[in-house]
Chain A
Amino acid sequence: MTKTDVVAAVRQATTTELHRRHRRLPAWMRRPGTIFAFVVLAFWLLIIALPVLRPYDPLATVGPALAPPGPEFLFGTDALGRDNLSRTLAGATVSIPNGIAIVVAAATIGTTIGLIAGFFGGWVDEVLMRLADLVFAFPSIILAMAIAAALGPSIQNAVIAAAITWWPAYARAVRSIVLAMRESEFVLSNRLSGVGTFRSIVIDMLPAVLGSVLVLGMLDMGAAILFLAGLSFLGLGAVPPTPEWGSMISGAVQYFDEWWLAVAPGLAIVTVVLAFNLIGDALRDQLEPRLQEMTGEQE
């Protein structure tokens, strides 16, 4: 084959590939679970983007205390006469962005540490991975509780505490990928042609690990939102009067008969977390066959 033949063949192959991709959505997006998840997430994004959809001010007393659900207050009111529906909707603006912040922070720390450990190896690797093991030695909620309590209760500190306890999973995954490709020919040839350490990490290693980090991050999103709500439930996250799902449920514990106080934020958490978990599972099955083998999921 001449050079032009090869170019033509490659061009044809890529264009048909592109055409096929354009015609159909990727398989993971066509699953019923994923479609449901996208609808749910679109709903919550709309709620976050448009505060006017809240019927009342979530922080203001707008009715009698502990009014049951009715035409005026669809999900009733709380002990201070605030509208439960508006507070639940407003809770999304706290839980979802901060959940994303936990994952982004943990993934950034973990990826950086994993790249360094895998690339340099030796004692650097040993020290960093022992550090990761150490964090794994604590059940994560307990360690995060201690850190959040030491920093003082606030949503930012809860995010910091969660990120500190979460990075090791990313570091381990990234390190193992880097170890596998460190000696590969294209990396070595780049190194021999004078590509420096930092550039080699950024242009050779980073792109190779990003896909796995993205999938891990999507798998973690639901758990991160649950984790944050859990810290708030324990009084270590959002502080009153911030409307936050975990602290709303915590406040509802003493009102057994006013069931609506716990049901509304609970359903909010479950729908959001379920949606993220469905998307994470589907993405993993599609993009990370290795992870798929590890969990044995099959389509």
Chain B
Amino acid sequence: MSAPSVDSVGVSTDTPTGAPASSGGAGYTRFVLRRVVASVITLFGITIVSFGISVLVPVRAETVNLSQQALANPEVVAAFREKFGLDLPIWEQYLRYLGGLLHGDLGISQQTGNPVSTDLANYAPATLELVVYATLLSLVAGVAFGIIAAAMRNRWPDHLARLVSLIGVSVPTYWLALVGSTLLFRQLGWLPGSGRLDATMMPPPRATGFYTIDSLLAGQFDVFQSAVAHLILPAAILAISTLGMILRFTRSSVLDGLSTDAVKAAKVKGLPHRRVLMRYGVRMASSPIITVAALSFGFLLAATVYVEQIFSWGGMGQYAYRASTNLDLSAITGISVVVAVIFLLVNFLADLLASAFDPRIRLQ
């Protein structure tokens, strides 16, 4: 027979080199199980680290928590140490701590006097709303600019993208927030600069804790508008801090996809440039992009500590800021456990999603 025609090569390479996207079956179940086990082990590790930090404290717990007068009375000190199990062996203290965690007990915050878990339940929705929108914003912008940069490699859009990502990683987030709020809120008055809603507005009835969703559920469109207006500036500033990472990642993944033999064949076959870019470059990049999205979500969950303070957001970040400036240790370790667990969950879901797109991940 003669050599295969260009067309037959084209047919065989029309799908990118990976297996079909939705190949379920026993392999996938085993992959999921393995990831579940690994996540549970990490979860234990997280509790050990956070317990370790609270043990690390050089000052004795009673000197922080008891008054001078109470400290002078050895009976009170003994009762305090008894109550919190401070004289037990270290592993028993850890088991008590773990038991507490299972019941949602993260200790008492010294600055608010409330259980840390209660405080966090109050503050978490505000932060999650901000971080979710910031992640989406930076994902959309980063992926779009990343694809453009890859498509126009080494021309001015690529250089501009490089400059933007360089500035994104070189400017402190809190400073950008301060400058942004001074310019767009104080000087120009274009955007609101503090809180989640106008001062005159009542929060919508709580369903999800996300004002943008709750207000729509309640049909309060003025509240929705206000919530969106308040989100723009802090979400945009948070988004800038991970934009560079997502942009670079997308660019290199798309370029990787474009350097495969399948792309050469597709070009030889005469597929239009746009089609090659979207079908081979972007599709090959989809699973790394999911992974980097989860990473940037975790990064923003931490960076929000810097931004919320400046916009008086009233979320976990502001709570963490106050806890750290007041050295409220149980609040800080509580926050670190909760944030690590959220991060773990997001990474877990991203892993499942990415492996659905790219079955090769399951083999690693």
Residue among A233, A277, A298 with max Cβ neighbours from chain B (10 Å): A233
Residue A57 CB within 8 A of the other chain: no
Known: A134-B46, A249-B178. A147 touches B53 (CB 8 A): yes
Q: Are B178 and A262 in contact (CB under 8 A)?
A: yes
Q: Using Cβ atoms and an 8 Å threshold, which residues of chain B touch A266? A: 172, 175, 178-179
Q: Are A151 and B170 in contact (CB under 8 A)?
A: no
Residue among A137, A226, A274 with max Cβ neighbours from chain B (10 Å): A137
Bound CA span A298–B298, Å: 29
Q: Are A262 and B175 in contact (CB under 8 A)?
A: yes
Residue B167 CB within 8 A of the other chain: yes
User: Which B residues between 308 and 337 are near A, CB-CB below 8 angstroms?
Assistant: 309-310, 320-321, 323-325, 327, 329, 332-333, 335-336
Chain B window 36-78, contacts with chain A (Cβ cutoff 8 Å), 1 for yes, 0 for no: 0000011001100110011011110000000000000000000
Residue among B162, B172, B339 with max Cβ neighbours from chain A (10 Å): B172
Q: Which of B87-95, B225-233, B251-259, B272-280 lies on the face that meets chain A?
A: B251-259
Q: Are B49 and A298 in contact (CB under 8 A)?
A: no
Q: Are A145 and B169 in contact (CB under 8 A)?
A: no
Known: A150-B54, A266-B179. A134 touches B49 (CB 8 A): yes
Q: Are B172 and A269 in contact (CB under 8 A)?
A: yes
Bound CA span A271–B41, Å: 42
Give the number of chain B interface residues (Cβ < 8 Å).
59
Bound CA span A226–B302, Å: 14
Known: A137-B343, A296-B255. A146 touches B336 (CB 8 A): yes
Contact partner of A262 (CB less than 8 A), chosen from B166, B179, B344, is B179
> Which residue on B lies nearest to A272, using beta carbons?
B170
Q: Using Cβ atoms and an 8 Å threshold, which residues of chain B touch A270? A: 170-172, 175
Bound CA span A222–B252, Å: 22
CB of A218 to closest CB in B, whole Å: 14
Q: Are A139 and B170 in contact (CB under 8 A)?
A: no
CB of B153 to closest CB in A, whole Å: 7
Bound CA span A22–B9, Å: 51
Q: Using Cβ atoms and an 8 Å threshold, which residues of chain B touch A236? A: 324
CB of A52 to closest CB in B, whole Å: 29
Q: Are B57 and A230 in contact (CB under 8 A)?
A: no
Number of CB contacts from chain A to chain B under 8 A: 151
Residue A143 CB within 8 A of the other chain: yes
Q: Are B302 and A151 in contact (CB under 8 A)?
A: no
Bound CA span A230–B176, Å: 13
Residue B186 CB within 8 A of the other chain: yes
Q: Are A139 and B302 in contact (CB under 8 A)?
A: yes
Bound CA span A230–B302, Å: 11
Residue A110 CB within 8 A of the other chain: no
Q: Using Cβ atoms and an 8 Å threshold, which residues of chain B touch A143? A: 49, 336, 340
Q: Are B332 and A234 in contact (CB under 8 A)?
A: no
Q: Are B302 and A142 in contact (CB under 8 A)?
A: yes
Residue A217 CB within 8 A of the other chain: no
Bound CA span A13–B93, Å: 67
Residue B196 CB within 8 A of the other chain: no
Residue A120 CB within 8 A of the other chain: no
> Which residue on B lies nearest to A296, using beta carbons?
B252
Contact partner of A269 (CB less than 8 A), chosen from B150, B175, B253, B333, is B175
User: Which B residues between 187 and 230 are near A, CB-CB below 8 angstroms?
Assistant: none
Contact partner of A138 (CB less than 8 A), chosen from B167, B175, B255, B340, is B340
Residue B182 CB within 8 A of the other chain: yes
> Which residue on A lies nearest to B328, using beta carbons?
A149
Residue A101 CB within 8 A of the other chain: no
Q: Using Cβ atoms and an 8 Å threshold, which residues of chain A touch B332? A: 145-146, 149
- 21 sample A-B contacts, Cβ–Cβ < 8 Å, listed by A number: A133-B45, A135-B49, A137-B343, A146-B335, A148-B324, A149-B323, A150-B53, A150-B57, A150-B329, A222-B170, A230-B172, A236-B324, A246-B172, A249-B178, A262-B182, A270-B175, A273-B170, A274-B166, A274-B167, A296-B150, A297-B252
Listed in ascending order, the chain A residues whose CB lies under 8 Å from chain B are: 130, 133-135, 137-143, 145-153, 222-223, 226, 229-230, 233-236, 246, 249-250, 252-253, 256-257, 259, 262-263, 266, 269-270, 273-274, 277-278, 281, 294-298
